[in-house]
Amino acid sequence: MTIVGICRPMRSPWDQPMECCLRFFPCLIDPARRSALCVKLVLVTVHLVYIGVLFLIDGDLIEKTEKEPMYTACYLLLFFVTLIQYFVTSISSPGYVLDAMMTTERNVLYRKTSEASNLPASSKNGSFVVAFEGTQAGKNISGNNTPTWSKLVADLYPMGTTIRTWTCSYCNVEQPPRSKHCHDCDKCVLQFDHHCVWLGNCIGQGNHCRFWWYLCEETALCLWTGILYISYLKDHIKSAWWRDAIMIVLLITLSISLIFLLLLLLFHSYLILTNQTTYELVRRRRIPYLRGIPERVHPFSKGVSRNVYNFCCGSSSVYNMERLPTPQETEEKSRPYTCLDVVSCRCC
C-alpha cells in the first residue's frame, strides 16, 4: 500500500499579520485601492516633512509665532484646509453614467407610482436630479410618454447617429456626449477630464470644481512654504552646512512642484473658461462628434461668464447632460470676431 503525503506550503511569519490586516481593512485587498492608499500616505508624509523641517530648523519662525501668532495660525490653517480638500476630492464621485441612468429610472418609476396613487406631483424622490439640455424630457416624463434612458441620450446627438456610436463597449451603457469609460475606475464618467493618480480618483462633472479649488490651495501652500524657506536661507546662509543643504534640496523640489502646480492651475482655468475637458482637448481628433468641428471652435462653450457660473455654482447633485450643437450653432461660433462682437461682449 502506497501512502501519498500532501506537502503544504511553508507559511511565512508575515502571513498571519497580513491576513488580520486584510480582515480589518478590506480595501487593501484590491491592488488599485492599495496603491491609491499608498500614494495618499506618501503625499501626506511629504507635506508633514516640509512643515516639520521648517519648524525644527527655523528658530526665527518660532519667535515670530510668539510675537505674531495669527501669521502662523493662518499658515497652519491653509495647510490643514489643503489636506482636507485633497481627501474630500479623492473620495468624491466624479459623476458616473450608470448612477445618472439609475437616477433617471428611479425618477420615472416614482412619477408613475405617484400618478397611480394620486400623490402630489411636487413630491421628491432622492437627492439627485438629471437635467437634459435641449430635450423635451421635462415636458413628457410622465404617463405613457415617459422616455427611456436610450431615448433621452439619443435626443442629445444629431439625427442619423446610430446607437453603436455612443454605446460603451465595456459597460454596454449609452453614453451621453462628453462621457468616457475610465479603465482605472472601470466605469463611464460624465464630462470625463482625466484620471488623477495622486488622488486615486477620476475627475469629471461631479468633482472638477473641487479639484480646481484643491489646485488653488496647494499652489498657495507651496508658494507660502517657499517664501518661508527662502527667508530662512537669506538670514542663516552661514549657519551649519547640513541645515543649509537640507533646506536647499527641499527648496529645489518645492520649486519644481510649484511650477508644475502653476501650469496645471492655469491649464484647468483655461478649460473652465472655454467649457472643455482635458480629454476633449488632447484627444479631439479621436472623438467622433468633434472631428468635423474646427479646432478653434469650442462647441460646448456658452460664454465665459456662463461657463464660470455653471462650473462654480453648479450643484454636485445634478447630472447635467449637454447636447451636441447643431450645424447652425457651430457655424455661428466659428464666425470671426468683429468690433461689434467685442463691444457686445459676444465671448461672454
The catalytic residue positions are 196
Give yes or no for a contact between 182 and 196, defined as CB atoms under 8 angstroms apart.
Answer: no
Closest Cα partner for 187 from 171, 206, 210?
171
Q: CA-CA distance, 348 to 328, in Å (whole number)? A: 19
Q: What is the CA radius of gyration of the chain?
A: 27
Three-state DSSP class for residue 68: coil
Q: Is 319 left (phi over 0), alpha (psi -120 to 50) or beta?
A: beta
Q: CA-CA distance, 322 to 191, in Å (whole number)? A: 9
Give yes or no for a contact between 291 and 285, defined as CB atoms under 8 angstroms apart.
Answer: yes
- According to DSSP, residue 323 is labeled P
What crossing angle do the helices spanning 241-274 and 208-235 adopt, rounded to 10°? 150
Residues in the chain: 348
Give yes or no for a contact between 44 and 51, defined as CB atoms under 8 angstroms apart.
Answer: no
Q: CA-CA distance, 85 to 87, in Å (whole number)? A: 6
